[in-house]
A and B are shown apart, each in its own frame.
Chain A
Amino acid sequence: MKGRALLAVLFAVVLALPWVAPPYHVLLMLPFMAYAVVLLGLNLLFGYAGLVSFGHALFIGVGAYTGAFLTTHTSVRSLEAMVLAAALVGGIVAALVGALCVRYVKIYFGMLTLAFGMVFYTFLLKFYRVTGGDEGMRVLRPSLLGVNLDAMAKTDYLVGPYYYYSLALLVLATLAMWRIVHSPFGLCLRTVRDNPVKAESLGLGVAQYRWRAFVISGIYAAVGGALLGPPTGNVDPTLAYWTQSGNIVFMTLLGGFASFFGPVLGAFVFIYLQDTVMSVVPYWRLVFGAILAFIVIWAPGGLMGLFARGRPAPTSRILSRTSS
C-alpha cells in the first residue's frame, strides 16, 4: 500500500532526525509531537463525533499543570508518573465537564466548552498561591523510565532521550486512536455524528457515545499537555487561554479533520510555518489568519483534502450546513 510505505518512510525520517538535523529543528519537533497527541484526541470529537470544542485548551492546561505540580510540589520526578497523572486528572475533569457539555451540540456545545475553558484559565490566573498566577509554574526535569538524567546538558537531554520518549508516546497514542476509530465504537460514533435520530432509534445511546469520545479526547489533550511542560521548563496560563483552543482547532482544520492523519500533519505545518514566518516578520497572526480564512472558504478539507481531491470525504456532511 502506498500510504503505508509513505508512513514507514516518514517514521524512518523522524527516527533519524536527531542524528542528521540541527538541534533547533529537532527541538521544534517536541511541541509538534505534544500537539499531535492533543489533536488526535481533538479530532475524535471534531472529525468523528462532529462536535467542535472551543475549550480544549482546558485539558492541555490540566495536563501541563498536573505534570508541573508533581515536579515542583511533590518529590515525583518521573515522566511516566506525570503522564499517567495527567491522563487520570484529565480524564476525571473531562468526565465531569463532558457530562454537562454533551447534552448540547453545535454552537451551544462550543460555547459551553469555551466557558469551562475560561473558568480554568481564570482559576490559573487568580489563585496564584496554588498555580503561580500569570508566571505559571516551573517544571523540573523529569526522569525517563526511572533513569535520572539531570547530569545531561539541557539540549542533549531534549534532542536525545526526551525526543524518543515523546515519539514513542506519540506512536502509542496513534496506534490506540487508530484502534478506537476503527472499532465498533468508532463506527457508532460516526453514525451518531451523521444521523443522531437514526442512531438513537437503532438503540445507540447518543449522549453516551459523545460523552465517551469527550473523555478520551480530554485524556489525549492532557497527555499532550504534560509533554509540553518539560521542554520549556515552565507552564503558564496562556496554555489554557481560549485563543489556544482556537489555534488547535485551526491546526486540525489546516491538516484536514476528515482524515485520520490530517490533524497530525496540521500540527506539523502549523508549528514549522509559525517558526518560519516569525523568523521573517513578527506578525504571524496576520499570515495565519489569512491562511485560516482561505482554508475555511476554499479548502475546508485542509491539506489532506487538497492531496486527496476527488475522493469523497468521509465527513462530507459537516461541510454543508444541514437544514436542521
Chain B
Amino acid sequence: MSGVFHAAILFLVAAGLQVVFGVQKIFNLACGSFYALGAYAGVSAVAAFTAAGGSPALFILPLVVAGLAVGLVGAVVERGLLRFVYERDETFQLLLTFAVVLMMEDAIRLTWGTAPRSTAGLYLAYGQARLLGATVPVYNLIVIAASLVIAGAIGWLLTRTAFGRIMRASADNREMAEALGVDMRRVYVRVFTLGTALGTLGGALVIPATAAMSEMGIELIVEAFAVVVIGGLGSMRGALVGALIVGVLRAVAIAVYPELDMLLIYLIVIAVLLLRPRGLFGGAVA
C-alpha cells in the first residue's frame, strides 16, 4: 500500500514530465527539482499555518496552495530560459534543463538551508485505517484519491476542453496548429507551468510522509524518468500505469530482496527501451 502512495506521488511528477514532453518535446530534467521546491514550500506553508493557529486537521490546505503557488516558477523558467532554445537540438534543451537542476538545487539550499525539513507529526493527523488487513495512514488514502482525481482532471482537460484540443493539436503538428491561429508562446507558457505545478504539488503532498532534503529532486527525477519510459513518452495513461508499476515493484522489491530495489526498475526500463522504445502506451498523444 505504501507502494501505491509512492506511485500516486510519482504519477504527479511523471504527469508533469509527460505534459511538457508531449507538447514541447523537451525532456525536462528539472521536474525533479520542481518536486523538491514544492516539498520545501509545503513545509514552510504548513509551519506558517500552524504558527498562525490553523487547525492541524486542515493542514492539507496550505500544502496544496503552496504546491500550486510555486508552480508559477515554471512560467519564469519557460519565459526566462527555455523559450530561447525551441529551435535547437534536443541535446541543448536537455542541457538547459540540467542547468535549471543545478541552479534550483543551490537556490533551495540558499533559501531553506541544508538540514532536512519535515512537518513534525502531522502525517498521522487524520488517523489510520485498516484496509485489507494492513494499517494505512488515512493521509496516504487522501493523496491516492487526490492523485486519481487529478488524473481524471487532466484527462478531462485534454479531451473535453478547448485548451486540451489545442494542446493535442500542438503536440501532433506544431506548424499546422500555429497556421490555424494558435499562439504557440501562450500554449508553451501554460503547458510548462502546468507541468511544473504538477511536480511541485507532488512534492508538497509527499512531505508529511517524509522529510524535505535538497537531494530529493535529483533522486526522484530518475524514478520519474523510469515511469515515463515504461509508460511511453508523452502518454498520460502511460504515466499512470508506469507510476503504478514502479511504485508497487519498488515496495515489493524492498520487502523481498532489498538489493534489487531500483536495480530492478532500471532493468525494466532498459528492457522496455530495447523491446518497445515507445513504451507500453507509446503513440497515444499527450
Partner of B95, one of A104, A114, A249: A249
Shortest beta-carbon distance from B167 to chain A in Å: 20
For residue A296, CB closer than 8 A to chain B, the reply is yes
For residue A52, CB closer than 8 A to chain B, the reply is yes
Partner of A293, one of B89, B94, B103: B103
A269-324 interface (Cβ within 8 A of B): 282-286, 288-290, 292-293, 296-297, 300, 318-322
Contacts of A106 in B (CB 8 A): 90-91
Contact in complex: B101, A289 (CB < 8 Å):
yes
For residue A122, CB closer than 8 A to chain B, the reply is yes
Cβ contacts B76-119/A at 8 Å (1 or 0 each): 00000100110111111011101111111111011000000000
For residue A111, CB closer than 8 A to chain B, the reply is yes
For residue A42, CB closer than 8 A to chain B, the reply is no
Contacts of B273 in A (CB 8 A): 104, 108, 111-112, 115
Chain B interface residues toward A at CB < 8 A: 27, 29, 81, 84-85, 87-92, 94-96, 98-107, 109-110, 218, 222, 225-226, 229, 258-263, 266-267, 269-270, 273-274, 277
Contact in complex: B103, A320 (CB < 8 Å):
no
Instruction: Pick the 8 closest A-B CB pairs, nearest first.
Output: A289-B103, A289-B102, A286-B106, A292-B99, A293-B99, A283-B106, A285-B106, A285-B102
Contact in complex: A111, B261 (CB < 8 Å):
no
Tell whether A104 pairs with B89 under 8 Å between CB atoms, given A283-B106, A293-B103.
no
| Docked pose: A115 CA to B274 CA in angstroms | 11
Shortest beta-carbon distance from B242 to chain A in Å: 14
Contact in complex: B81, A126 (CB < 8 Å):
no
Partner of B103, one of A123, A250, A290: A290
What is the chain A residue whose CB lies nearest that of B215? A243
Shortest beta-carbon distance from B32 to chain A in Å: 11
| Docked pose: A118 CA to B101 CA in angstroms | 18
Cβ contacts A30-66/B at 8 Å (1 or 0 each): 0000000000000000000000101000000000000
For residue A246, CB closer than 8 A to chain B, the reply is yes
Shortest beta-carbon distance from A280 to chain B in Å: 13
Contact in complex: A292, B102 (CB < 8 Å):
yes
Contact in complex: B99, A296 (CB < 8 Å):
yes
Contact in complex: B106, A293 (CB < 8 Å):
no
Partner of B92, one of A104, A111, A246, A296: A296
Contacts of B96 in A (CB 8 A): 292-293, 296-297
Contacts of A288 in B (CB 8 A): 102
Contacts of A126 in B (CB 8 A): 258-263
Chain A interface bracket (under 10, 10 to 19, 20 to 34, 35 or more)? 35 or more
| Docked pose: A283 CA to B84 CA in angstroms | 26
Contact in complex: B266, A115 (CB < 8 Å):
yes
| Docked pose: A122 CA to B254 CA in angstroms | 14
Contact in complex: B94, A110 (CB < 8 Å):
yes
| Docked pose: A289 CA to B97 CA in angstroms | 9
Tell whether A115 pairs with B85 under 8 Å between CB atoms, given A107-B94, A285-B105, A293-B103.
no
Contacts of B29 in A (CB 8 A): 246
Beyond A52-B91, A126-B261, A292-B99, 12 additional pairs, beta carbon < 8 A: A54-B94, A110-B27, A112-B273, A115-B225, A115-B226, A119-B263, A119-B266, A285-B102, A289-B100, A290-B99, A296-B88, A321-B88
For residue A268, CB closer than 8 A to chain B, the reply is no
| Docked pose: A300 CA to B258 CA in angstroms | 43
| Docked pose: A246 CA to B95 CA in angstroms | 8
A118-132 interface (Cβ within 8 A of B): 118-119, 122-123, 126-127
What is the chain A residue whose CB lies nearest that of B95? A296
Contact in complex: A285, B85 (CB < 8 Å):
no
| Docked pose: A141 CA to B3 CA in angstroms | 45
Tell whether A107 pairs with B270 under 8 Å between CB atoms, given A283-B110, A285-B102, A319-B89.
no
| Docked pose: A297 CA to B110 CA in angstroms | 25
Identify 28 residue pairs between A and B in the complex whose beta-carbon atoms are under 8 Å apart, listed by A's number: A52-B94, A100-B274, A104-B277, A107-B90, A110-B90, A110-B91, A115-B269, A115-B270, A127-B259, A242-B222, A246-B29, A246-B98, A246-B101, A250-B95, A250-B98, A253-B95, A286-B103, A289-B99, A289-B100, A289-B101, A292-B96, A292-B102, A293-B100, A293-B103, A297-B84, A297-B96, A320-B88, A321-B89
What is the chain B residue whose CB lies nearest that of A54? B94
| Docked pose: A118 CA to B81 CA in angstroms | 28
| Docked pose: A120 CA to B273 CA in angstroms | 17
Contacts of B27 in A (CB 8 A): 107, 110-111
What is the chain B residue whose CB lies nearest that of A108? B277
Partner of B225, one of A100, A111, A249, A296: A111
What is the chain B residue whose CB lies nearest that of A246? B98
What is the chain A residue whose CB lies nearest that of B266? A119
For residue A116, CB closer than 8 A to chain B, the reply is yes
Tell whether A318 pairs with B261 under 8 Å between CB atoms, given A119-B266, A290-B99.
no
Shortest beta-carbon distance from A147 to chain B in Å: 41
Contacts of A253 in B (CB 8 A): 95
Contact in complex: B229, A111 (CB < 8 Å):
yes
Contacts of B87 in A (CB 8 A): 320-321
Contacts of A318 in B (CB 8 A): 89, 91
Shortest beta-carbon distance from B141 to chain A in Å: 30
| Docked pose: A106 CA to B27 CA in angstroms | 11
Shortest beta-carbon distance from B80 to chain A in Å: 9
Among A107, A118, A296, which residue has the most Cβ atoms of chain B within 10 A? A296
Contacts of A282 in B (CB 8 A): 109
